[in-house]
Structures are given as C-alpha cells and as structure tokens.
Structure 1
Amino acid sequence: MAVTVEPEQFDLGSVHSGLLDCIQVNLAVLADHHYGPGAHLRLGARLDFGSWARADGLPTVDPPLTAQLTTATGLLGLRVASRERLTRGELLAGLRKDGGVRYAVADAYLLPWLPYHRHAHMEHSFLIAAGPDGWHITDAYRSDTAWGTATPGHWVLADDDLAELTSAEVIELVPVGARPVDALPPAHTADPAAVARYLAAYDACADRPRAVDQLTVETWLLARARKLHAAYRALFARGAAEAAAERAHLRAWDKVVEQTYLAHRRVSRGHAEPPGVVDRLRDALAADLTVFGSHPTASPAGPAPVPAAEDALRRRVAAVAGAVLGVPPAALLDGSPFDSFASFSSFRLIEIIERLESELGTEFDADDLVPANLRRVDDLCRIAR
C-alpha cells in the first residue's frame, strides 16, 4: 500500500547532541518533541556508575540497550508500547501499514548516513517513518570519528539505500507525562568498590593496546555523562551557570579524554604506554563526588526579576547566537553552553562575536575574549555591558 501522508517532522535545534550518546540522542529528540525544548536534559538527572562485562572481558560503562531504555524512558516520560526484533522486510512493511514513527536500533556498520557505515560495528539509534517519497530517517547524533563527522540531520532514503540493513530492534514509544524538574533533583551515586573493580580490570589487563584502546571509548562516555549532568544541574537551578569547581572539573575530564587518546595513539604505533593513564581516570572519578556530591538548590519562587535593560541585552545576544548556531534563542537563555549544541565550533564562536560587535555597535576588549567569557549568553552579556 502506497504511503500518501507526510510523516511527523522533528526539530533537532533544541537537542544538546554534543552531550548524548548514540542511544540517548534520539530518545532526546522524542522527549523535546513531546514536552518542549530542554526536556531531554532529564537524562542527566542521575550520575550513576555502573559497568557491564564486554565480550573480551574488560568492563564498560556503556550499558546494554535494555538497561539504557529502562533508565531513559523513566526519566523522559516515555513508555515502551512495543519492542521487537524485526527483519528489514518486516520493519518496512509495518511502517508502510501504520504510518507511524519508530525508534530503532541497528548496527551502525549497515546505516548509510553514518561515517561508521562499512567501517565499525556498534549499536546506533535512529527514528524512521514511511513517507510518499521514501523512508524518512531522523538522527541527531553528533561525533567526530576516524571516518568523518556524524552530524544531526534528516534523510529520505529509497529501499535500495537500506538494502544492507538486515534487522533492527524496533521500539514504539508513547508519552506518558514527564516529571517536573523540581521533583527530580540531580543526584550522584557511585559505589567505591564498583569503581575500584572497574579500574583494577584496566590496570591488570596484560594486553595494553587493547586496554588503552577501550579506555578511549570509556573516558569519552564518562566525560559526556558528566557534561550532561552539569547541564541538568543548571536546568534544575533555573539556568544558573556551573560553579567554578564544576567548570574546572569538566575541563579536567576533557584532559583525561585527550591524554587517553594520545596514549592510545602512541601504544598503537608500538611505543611504550605513557604513565598515568588509569591513574588520571581514577582521580577524575574520585573528584566527581566532591564536585557533584550535593545538588544545587532551586528556589520555588524562581530567579529574581531581570532588569528590563539587562533582559533586552540577553535576548539580543541569544538571538544572534541562536541564528549562528541554528537553535532557538530560548534554548540559550536557559544557561546552556554554546558547545553543548552539535552546530558549535570555533568558527561559529568567531561568527557569534563578530555579529554581536556589529549588532551592538561595539568592539570587545581583546583581554575579555578568553574561554571563561565565551561559553554562554550571560558570559557575552557580561563583557558587552
């Protein structure tokens, strides 16, 4: 039966793709679609530490799909109405019949819009629906890979484009109401014994190239989770910026990711493993409790009124930055950092600064153009006054 109706459309502008993994990110699209911009940040409400055994014996913080779905849907106000493993033919026939949108998870190796296509095997989510012009794919994932950059977008594919897709986990998700943010305080939980066992496995692994290679994935996942948690803490505190300790801690996590990757590059070329790879990770995990151990207090009355002139400046800055990044200004006015959006880059930051100088008829002092002043709308407002 031919499909004659255009499928549901999804706006990706409010999704902080840079903070989400490839399973979370398209659940985030659905959450924002049903509950409004920023709803997906509830995924960062809890900063837990769990690990699961990989096939090679090393532990990973990347949870299996069932565990991730259980946690994410509960936080986002989504319910799994149905879940089944379908062949390509079964999936496409079902979509043609009911005209709905499905959240699907398949091997990224088989998905032609991704740089992983024919290069790397891993579970990857996407939204798929039947349309009169082909199969409508929505995927908000953002990541730099060895084979190019995965960028958020929409694709319309023909049957032949999906010829390599053998099967997929197909999930129908329905909204059931998301808990208010005030009722979901941020929490950090980590069993020290579980953390110690996880680290000990990497310390003890005799195959150092394999251990360090996997640690590049582990540190990347851990750092993203902490940035997502920090973003949720800001949402819970009604847009307050992270404390200086949080900013420093997130920078330290970035350093762990960077140094682990450099160690991997050296080891993969046959050089000795640089010292401290696991120790740096151990220190960062230990610091989590200090930085995230208590949650910010949100005033039920909300923030104090913003003076009219200051509010007008914030809105002008948000409008300029939003236009450059391709995101709604409201998504920036809540305190979200620019680099949490998939469209952000150093070039976009330069464009924001230049457009603001033109819009405001001013020239920023060169001494003010330091990273600490260039992360958010309020940072730019501070140096523009």
Structure 2
Amino acid sequence: MTTVLPQDAAAAAGPHPLPAPQVRAPLLDCLQANLAVLADRHHGPDTHLRLGAVLRFAPAPRGPGGLPTVEPTVAGQLAAAAELLGLAVDEYGTRPPGTAADGAAEPAYVVADAFHLPWVPYHGHKHVEHSFLVEAGADGVTVTDAYHNDTPWGPARPLRQVHAPGRLDALLAELPADTVTVRLSARPPGPAPAPVHEPADGAAIDAYVRAYADHEDRVLALERFTLETWLLARARHLHAEYAAHLAGGGRGEAVRAHLARWDGVVEHTYLAYRRVARGRAEPAGLFERAGEALRADAEVFGGRRPEDLQDEVRAVVAAVLHVSEDALVVGAGGFDGDLSRLPEFGSMRMVEVVERLEQRFAVEFAPEDLMPENLHRVADLCALIRRSPAAR
C-alpha cells in the first residue's frame, strides 16, 4: 500500500490560491499591474495610481508591422516606477528566474511570453509580453499576477498562487531566453505629483490614425489597433482616477462621458478586427472616431501650461546643480539663462540633467538633439521635451 504524504497531495492538487492583490487592476496594463503590487506593498494603498500622473500621446514611429505604437516597453515602465512609485532597479537580467534556492528578500518582477504561462488565458494561444511576481517562501513559491482583462480565451483576473517549488522551477526553466527578470527595492517616493495632461499635436494625431487606416494588411492593422485603443483607454481611465484620488472626489460628468467615449472606441475597434479577421466588411467610421477622441482629451483633461513645464524643468536642473530654483530665473542676480556660465555646471552635470529629465517626463531625446548648444538653457530643454516621443 502506498502512503500519500500531505506534501505529495498538495503537489498533485496544483497551486494553492491566496487572496488576490488589491490594486486598481482594470486601469493598468500588463506591465504596470505587478509594479503596482510592489508600490502599494512598500508605500501604502493606491500609491500605484501615480502611474497616471502624466498623460501624453507620444507614439513611437515604428512598432510591429511598421505601425506607430503607444505600447510601453519594460525599460519605460521601470523608469516610470523609479520616478513615480519609489521602486529602484537593483538587478536586471535577461534570463528566466530561479526559485528553489532563491532566498532574496524581494520578489522577482518577471516579464515573459504569456504563451507559456498556464495561469493566463493567453497560454497556448497568443504570444504577448506579460509580467508577474515570483517570491520564494517557507510554504512554496508564490506567483502574483494582478492583470485584469477579458480575452477571447476567457477572463484574466488578479491572483496569487502558492506553487510547489519543483513544479514551478520546471515551468520557469522552460521560459524563453529573452525573459526579463528584475529585482526592485523601495526608495522614498517623494510627494505626489500634480496630474498633468500634455495636449497632442493635431498633425501627430492625424499621422497616427492614418497609418492604421491606410495600412494594406487590414487584419494586422486592426489587430494592432485593438491593442492601441485598449492601451489609450486604460491610460485615460488611470489618469482620471489619479486626479480624482488627489482631489478627494469623484469624476465630473465631462470626464465620465469622455471615458465612455473611449470605451466605445475600444469596442468598435475590436468589432472591426473580428469582422475583418473572418473575411467580413470593415465597419466605417472607426478611425475618425479614434481621432476625435484623441483631440477631445485636451478639452476634458486640459494641458500643461508652458510656464508649468518651465518650472518643472528648472526644479530638476536646480536639484542636479544643488542651487536654488530662484537662481535659475533669467534676470535673477544677473543670470542670463546660460547654464554653462554657472560654476556648478559642467559636462557631467549636463549629462545628469539629460538623464533626469528623460526619467521625469518619460521621454527619450533624439540623438541628433543631444548637442551641447541645446542643453544649456531651461527654455531649450523644455523645447526638447515637447518634441520628444515617449521612452521606448
């Protein structure tokens, strides 16, 4: 007679569920969701809403299929976590995480192909970047995944599961070699930033929408645009929730109506994609509707005034140079605006200013713009930020 030990029975039964993480998961994308869990763990509930502090439309010019995209990158989301959530990267590697001998105090933040992850509906169906947390403990290895979405293969909902170490080790060992594993630690997050919307340029909106409307592969274009509108809508819901959270009140009627408009764009896009994928006619009016929603953002959310941007840039420069912000106002004490005339300024400080501004505003300056003559005045730095796309 074979005796079944309790641990053997637990392993045979599969992962053991724990209470799900409590974050505003329906507002977050698949990379943000588990950074949100870490932020709230270290700094308190709703810290993760800070990810909605800045709303901008700055698509990268060429993504999959040569189409422009607002899809975030791991590097971009980690930069936002450092700037807004008080989470600093201690280790970053391209490798599957280990668990059995892992005694790290902090969980591993992992980004892998969801095709290989059995707890998400994409498993075995779709290749897509997806994050989760892995944390070794006395009772096994805990996987946390705060992702919330409805997919063609079923709903994804936030979860925490305790796995037997051996079983999870085998699963993680089979993940692709380009799996990203990151260790983050807590830093003081600083005061909550004011919510800011940076209005999009009309020509940029037209070019973005036209690229999808005119692409010759309609199935590819609409499949990609389904993801794009989903990301755009979530970013606007998150921004509105953060603003309401800071104000201590609810969303106004104009904001609620605008978010409903964005939800309608997402539904329209998915309907169009499904019909074209099945060989049916493409519904009309989608891209006009999306362009109108992008333009209406400015009416609903307002925009960052030029003087506000200048104040923020001046604050970053002052922090790097260890001088007062007042000392960087043109005309103050004879200052003519040229930072290179200050004894505190030099090539090393100039590079630090660039790096901090890229982090603070989640942008990536174009290589051709990084000329010394463009980096010596607050006004010139503001101009660089305005024309720079989001960090990729």
Q: Same fold (TM over 0.5)?
A: yes
Tell me the CA shift for residue 202 of structure 1: 0.8
Distance in 1 (CA, whole Å) between partners of 2:267 and 2:115 is 26
Give the alignment's Cα RMSD to 1 decimal.
2.1
Structure 1 position 92 matched with structure 2 position 99: yes
Distance in 2 (CA, whole Å) between partners of 1:266 and 1:232 is 35
Structure 1 position 274 matched with structure 2 position 280: no
Which amino acid is 2:89 matched to? V
For 1:341, the equivalent position in structure 2 comes to none
Instruction: Pick from 231, 249, 255 the counterpart of residue 241 of structure 2.
Output: 231
Identity of counterpart residues, as a percentage?
A: 49
Partner SS for 2:57: coil
Instruction: Pick from 234, 258, 263 the counterpart of residue 254 of structure 1.
Output: 263
**Conserved? CA contact 1:14–1:38, under 8 Å:** no
Structure 1 position 82 matched with structure 2 position 91: yes
Partner SS for 1:259: helix
For 2:206, the equivalent position in structure 1 comes to 196
Structure 1 position 292 matched with structure 2 position 292: no
Distance in 2 (CA, whole Å) between partners of 1:206 and 1:213 is 13
Alignment of 1:309-328 (within 5 A): none
For 1:19, the equivalent position in structure 2 comes to 27
**Conserved? CA contact 2:21–2:160, under 8 Å:** no
**Conserved? CA contact 1:186–1:232, under 8 Å:** no
Tell me the CA shift for residue 191 of structure 1: 3.6
**Conserved? CA contact 1:103–1:171, under 8 Å:** yes
> Which shows bigger deviation, 262-271 or 242-251?
262-271
**Conserved? CA contact 1:20–1:224, under 8 Å:** yes
Partner SS for 2:135: strand
Which amino acid is 1:156 matched to? V
Partner SS for 1:63: coil
Tell me the CA shift for residue 284 of structure 1: 0.4
**Conserved? CA contact 1:108–1:120, under 8 Å:** yes
For 1:31, the equivalent position in structure 2 comes to 39
Tell me the CA shift for residue 193 of structure 1: 3.4
**Conserved? CA contact 1:253–1:284, under 8 Å:** yes
Alignment length, in residue pairs?
282
Partner SS for 2:66: coil
Distance in 2 (CA, whole Å) between partners of 1:29 and 1:108 is 19
Tell me the CA shift for residue 98 of structure 1: 3.2
Distance in 2 (CA, whole Å) between partners of 1:104 and 1:11 is 20
Which amino acid is 2:283 matched to? P
Which amino acid is 1:113 matched to? W
Which amino acid is 1:192 matched to? G
Structure 1 position 171 matched with structure 2 position 182: yes
Tell me the CA shift for residue 55 of structure 1: 3.1
Structure 1 position 60 matched with structure 2 position 69: yes
Distance in 1 (CA, whole Å) between partners of 2:90 and 2:105 is 16
**Residues 49 and 80 (structure 1 numbering): CA distance in 2 closer, same or farther, change over 3 Å?**
same
> Which shows bigger deviation, 274-283 or 188-197?
188-197
Distance in 2 (CA, whole Å) between partners of 1:11 and 1:44 is 26
Q: TM-score, normalised by structure 1?
A: 0.69
Alignment of 1:300-315 (within 5 A): none
Instruction: Pick from 113, 116, 121 the counterpart of residue 127 of structure 2.
Output: 121
**Conserved? CA contact 2:65–2:220, under 8 Å:** no
Which amino acid is 1:18 matched to? P
Instruction: Pick from 208, 211, 221 the counterpart of residue 218 of structure 2.
Output: 208
> Which shows bigger deviation, 11-20 or 59-68?
11-20
For 1:356, the equivalent position in structure 2 comes to none
Tell me the CA shift for residue 259 of structure 1: 1.3
Structure 1 position 160 matched with structure 2 position 167: yes
Partner SS for 1:56: helix
**Conserved? CA contact 2:200–2:295, under 8 Å:** no
For 1:108, the equivalent position in structure 2 comes to 114
Consecutive unaligned residues of structure 1, counting only runs of 5 or more, are 1-9, 296-385
Tell me the CA shift for residue 123 of structure 1: 1.1
